[in-house]
Every structure is written in C-alpha cells, then in structure tokens.
C-alpha cells in the first residue's frame, strides 16, 4: 500500500515504522525539529533492546505526496482542524482515512443512527468545519491500545501494546476494513475488526478520561497511579460516571470497572500522553478526552460531578502551559 502517516510522532512513528518494515510505501508528515531529524537521519524505532532505522520520505506539507491508499491521522486532537483541509491531495476516491487519535472523535455521530445522527460534537467541531474538510465516507474508525514516546527528535520508543481496533462508522464489515486489518497484522500490529467501533471508542475513552488527567495533574506514571489506592478510588468513580454517559448513547462497555483498570495496568510504568504533554509544556487534549464527555452528559441529562471537577482542574492546568 501507499501509506501516509500524518503526525509522525509517538504512535504515528510507530505506525510508519511497522508498515515500512513490511514493505509498504510510507511517507511521513511532521514538523519542527522532529521533521528535520527524520529527513537527516531517518526514523529510528527503539523496542526493547532493538534499534531500527527507516529512511522514509518526510515533509511538513502533505501536498508533497500524491494520492494514498491509506492515510493515518496520528495528530493530537487540537491539531486536526488546521491539518484536515490540507489533506485533500492525499485523498482519492478510494482512500481510507484512519484517525488513530485519542478521545471522542469529531466524526462520532456520522452514521451513528441514534437521535444525534449526523450532528457534530460542539467542543470538537463547533462549526462543522471538520465534516466539510473531509468527506466522512473515507473514515475508518480506529482505537489504539498501545504506548510510545518520542525520546528525541526522530527517535520513537515503543513502550507497550500493539492492538489497533478498526471499524466502519456504519458498523458494516467492509472489504476495505478487512484488507487494512490483514495488512496491519502482516506488519506486526495486532489489528482486530470491531462489530461496533463506538463500543471500542468508549472502552478506551473511559480509561483515558480517568487516567490521563490524573497522570497529568499528579505527574504520575501508570504504575504510580495503580499502586495508590486513593487515586484508584478516584479512577473508579470517573469510570463509573463515564460508563453511565456511554449507556445514555446506547453503548454498554463490555467490562466491569475493575476489568477496565486491569487493562490500564498492562501499560505498567508507561508515561501516558497527557503526562508527556504537561512535561513538555504542550497543549492538552482536554476537550477530546474529557470535555466531550461532559458535553454529551449534559445533552443526555446525566450527572457527572467528579468528571466535571476533574475537567475544571485539567482545563485550568492546560491554560498555564
């Protein structure tokens, strides 16, 4: 396949490296010192004791590359609005666009079928500009269960997990989704097709919504949080509230609170994304991970007092970065 990874940072770098290793024609969209290092030294992937270097085309301009078979969007949620209109030259009639992103995606209500079908999530796409910039028929939903870090410009460290869950927004089992999953599995991913990608979105989101702001506020690694009973008590309440919101939108998360905490424990000592962003003084994905759930809770009339409190704290923390 011809594949472009837009946002070749931690998860994006990992995605590009694995696909390139399998022989796919991979190009990378990046910026700043990371882009300079990619051009100068290639993409370096660290995994356990192994070091691999991939000489891949890299640019800050998507227009430098032609139409692709697949485009992976691995950006922070707050960067998507500015980038999406610039992807037009990458997207042909049959191009798959896979937003491998954190939080509730802007396209969530596309072919959702419920009472909000076709509407936007106001805090993510208030004017509907994202829907206008990319025809959502190209989108394949994606949920990533894995962790990586950019150790230095051009160098990505894989720290945990390789599960990528793929699914059509309309819940169909499509040939394109099957082909993509097969290619990813052959490249070393653990790719799985989901009958309903929104179940997978919420299953991950209830963990992100709880662990990410706590990690960012406490500057705690995953094993620090999981070893602290007081913090785990907070995590449990946040997950419970988020699960009630999901159920109001017809999604029942197929695990208990403690089972979801067990999934998070598999990340061991990982420094998760919002913690990394605070340390590097970058903007936070506050709305995609927490604010969107607050918005959906209000629309559905669900009380989420602890999520509201954590949202107020992490939104204020973000202002001071």
pLDDT digits (tens, 9 = 90+) for 137-175: 999 999 998 888 899 999 999 988 899 999 999 999 999
Statement: residue 65 has pLDDT above 90: yes
Q: Is 204 designated active site? A: yes
Q: What is the pLDDT of residue 48?
A: 86
Q: What is the pLDDT of residue 147?
A: 82
**Active-site residue identified among 76, 157, 204, 271:** 204
CB 300 within 8 A of CB 232: no
pLDDT digits (tens, 9 = 90+) for 121-138: 999 999 999 999 999 999
Q: What is the pLDDT of residue 268?
A: 80
Q: What is the pLDDT of residue 21?
A: 96
Q: What is the pLDDT of residue 13?
A: 97
Average per-residue pLDDT in the chain? 95
Domains and CATH numbers, the chain: 2-195 (3.40.50.720), 199-319 (1.10.1040.10)
Q: Which of 31-35, 147-151, 212-216, 230-234 has the lowest mean pLDDT?
A: 147-151
Per-residue confidence band for 259, with pLDDT thresholds at 50, 70 and 90: very high
Average of pLDDT values for 256-276? 89
**What are 301-308's contacts with CB under 8 Å, separation 24+?**
301/248, 302/241, 302/244, 302/245, 302/248, 303/241, 304/241, 304/242, 304/244, 304/245, 305/241, 306/234, 306/237, 306/238, 306/241, 307/209, 307/238, 307/241, 307/242
Residue of 196, 195, 183, 4 whose CA lies nearest to 83: 4
- The Cα–Cα gap between 38 and 55 comes to 8
Average of pLDDT values for 259-276? 88
pLDDT over 70 percentage in the chain: 100
Per-residue confidence band for 267, with pLDDT thresholds at 50, 70 and 90: confident
């Amino acid at each position: 396949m011809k594949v472009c990874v837009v946002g070749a940072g931690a998860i994006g770098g990992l995605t590009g490296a694995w696909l390139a290793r399998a022989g796919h024609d991979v190009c990378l969209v990046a910026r700043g010192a990371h882009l300079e290092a990619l051009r100068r030294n290639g993409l370096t992937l660290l995994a356990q004791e192994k070091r691999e270097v991939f000489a891949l085309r890299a640019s800050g301009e998507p227009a430098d590359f032609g139409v692709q078979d697949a485009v992976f969007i691995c950006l922070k949620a707050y960067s998507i609005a500015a980038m999406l209109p610039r992807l037009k030259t990458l997207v042909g009639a049959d191009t798959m666009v896979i937003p491998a992103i954190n939080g509730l995606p802007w396209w969530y209500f596309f072919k959702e079928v419920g009472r909000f079908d076709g509407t936007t999530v106001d805090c993510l796409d208030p004017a509907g500009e994202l829907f206008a910039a990319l025809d959502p028929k190209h989108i394949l939903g994606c949920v990533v269960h894995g962790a990586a870090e950019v150790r230095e410009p051009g160098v990505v460290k894989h720290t945990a997990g390789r599960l990528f869950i793929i699914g059509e927004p309309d819940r169909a089992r499509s040939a394109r989704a099957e082909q993509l999953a097969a290619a990813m599995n052959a490249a070393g991913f653990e790719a799985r097709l989901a009958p309903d990608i929104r179940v997978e979105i919420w299953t991950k989101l209830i963990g992100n919504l709880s662990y990410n702001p706590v990690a960012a506020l406490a500057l705690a690694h995953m094993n620090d949080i999981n070893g602290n009973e007081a913090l785990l008590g907070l995590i449990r309440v946040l997950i419970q509230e988020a699960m009630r919101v999901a159920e109001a939108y017809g999604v029942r998360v197929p695990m208990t609170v403690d089972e979801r905490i067990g999934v998070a424990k598999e990340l061991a000592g990982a420094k998760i994304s919002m913690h990394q962003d605070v340390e590097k003084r970058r903007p936070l994905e506050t709305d995609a991970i927490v604010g969107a759930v607050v918005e959906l809770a209000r629309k559905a009339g669900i009380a989420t007092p602890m999520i509201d409190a954590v949202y107020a704290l992490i939104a204020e923390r973000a202002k001071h970065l």
